[in-house]
């Protein structure tokens, strides 16, 4: 080979090497562009149906996106109190929150509609109603103009009263200060029990109970069992007058920036998780009741006559509260109709 040929060949090797180096330098930017989309999801509770819903939903989203969306789950108010998580979702710093809709009634009062007492015969009836397409769509669309896109809705548990002192019946609730979610629906229920409703975030509840700032809570047995309230607030009265429900909303700011196929994935996973979780809830609620009793907690159920008397007192609340705003009354009427057809 001539000197000129060797120089030409050498130059070609150098140029190819430079091209390879250029590709190697460019590679990190390509990797960065393909980095997973982080989806931070929060809930006030831990090791309960809300937490489990996040796990189910998250697994579907990660599998459906082939890892392009990376889910991070933050239970037990790790992302802040409910108001802070709601603000985060509206701003886009939190991508999804899962909690009872009454928490969001400050954003739109229609969210409190599901807190109306006496609508459902039991949790199973509530689940059928919430999965009814027309009502489900109407309820989940409430926050569209407020930065919150609804993607999940399910029935969770029967309402109970949990206090530091023994409860033999509704008469024992009179005069008590009870933590509520802050919606007019719940505050009015407590008022009919001749007690006082105190809105409070979940993280503040146990210390307030232990210090005597409040006497008890309006809540659900599965949540207080998962949080081990039986150690210090062991008295439960099963009233059967209302059903606790749960919804999940995603940040619309974040959602609107996703590719269309990922948007569809989020919607489909939310609907599927909300349907699939019900058998899990049935088993979980049963186990939590047994756990409560096993650990020294006490449960008193109202007699049939007392429950009927309480329901008669509570039933007007939904219509009375909803009547304050036409849009809320319209949704309440749809809820009533759906509850009748799914009974």
pLDDT tens digits for 31-89?
A: 334 789 999 999 999 999 999 999 999 999 999 999 999 999 999 999 999 999 999 99
User: Which secondary structure element, helix H or strand E, spans residue 240, and what is its range?
Assistant: strand 235-251
pLDDT at 152 over 70: yes
pLDDT at 5 over 70: no
- Crossing angle of helices 326-341/123-130, nearest 10°? 120
pLDDT tens digits for 198-214?
A: 999 888 999 999 999 99
pLDDT tens digits for 238-262?
A: 998 999 999 999 999 999 999 999 9
Q: Which residues contact 182 (CB under 8 A, 6 or more apart)?
A: 102, 103, 105, 106, 199
Q: How many angstroms separate the CA atoms of 296 and 335, rounded? A: 38
pLDDT tens digits for 281-328?
A: 999 999 999 999 999 999 999 999 999 999 999 999 999 999 999 999
Q: What is the DSSP string of 186-238?
A: HHHHHHHTT-EEEE--HHHHHHHHHHTS-SEEEE-HHHHHHTTGGGT--EEEE
How many Cα neighbours within 13 Å face the side chain of 237? 25
pLDDT at 18 over 60: no
pTM: 0.88
**Domains of the chain by residue range:** 35-341
Signed CA dihedral, 292, 308, 180, 171: sign only: negative
Q: How many angstroms separate the CA atoms of 153 and 11, rounded? A: 66
The hierarchical CATH code for the domain 35-341 is 3.40.190.170
Three-state SS at 342: coil
């Amino acid at each position: 080979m001539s000197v000129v040929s060797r120089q030409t060949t050498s130059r070609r090797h150098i140029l190819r090497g430079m091209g390879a180096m250029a590709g190697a330098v460019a590679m990190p930017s390509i990797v960065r562009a393909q980095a997973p989309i982080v989806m931070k999801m929060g809930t006030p509770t831990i090791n309960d149906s809300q937490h489990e819903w996040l796990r189910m939903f998250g697994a579907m989203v990660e599998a459906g996106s082939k890892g392009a969306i990376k889910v991070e789950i933050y239970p037990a108010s790790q992302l802040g109190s409910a108001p802070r998580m709601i603000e985060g979702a509206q701003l886009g710093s939190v991508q999804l929150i899962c909690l009872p809709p009454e928490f969001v009634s400050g954003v739109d009062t229609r969210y409190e509609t599901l807190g109306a007492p006496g609508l459902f015969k039991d949790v199973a009836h509530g689940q059928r109603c919430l999965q009814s397409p027309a009502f489900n769509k109407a309820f989940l669309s409430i926050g569209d103009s407020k930065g919150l896109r609804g993607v999940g809705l399910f029935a969770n548990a029967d309402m109970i009263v949990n206090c530091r002192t023994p409860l033999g019946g509704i008469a024992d609730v009179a005069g008590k200060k009870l933590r509520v979610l802050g919606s007019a629906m719940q505050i009015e229920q407590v008022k009919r029990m001749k007690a006082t409703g105190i809105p409070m975030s979940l993280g503040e509840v146990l210390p307030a109970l232990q210090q005597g700032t409040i006497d008890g809570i309006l809540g659900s047995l599965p949540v207080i069992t998962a949080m081990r309230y039986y150690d210090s607030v062991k008295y439960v009265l099963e009233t059967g007058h209302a059903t606790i429900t749960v919804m999940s909303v995603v940040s619309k700011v974040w959602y609107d920036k996703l590719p269309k196929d990922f948007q569809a994935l989020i919607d489909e996973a939310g609907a599927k998780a909300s349907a699939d979780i019900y058998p899990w809830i049935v088993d979980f609620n049963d186990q939590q009741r047994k756990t409560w009793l096993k650990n020294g907690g006490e449960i008193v159920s109202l007699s049939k006559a007392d429950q009927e008397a309480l329901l008669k007192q509570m039933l007007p609340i939904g219509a009375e509260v909803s009547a304050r705003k036409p849009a809320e009354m319209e949704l309440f009427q749809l809820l009533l109709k759906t509850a009748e057809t799914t009974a």
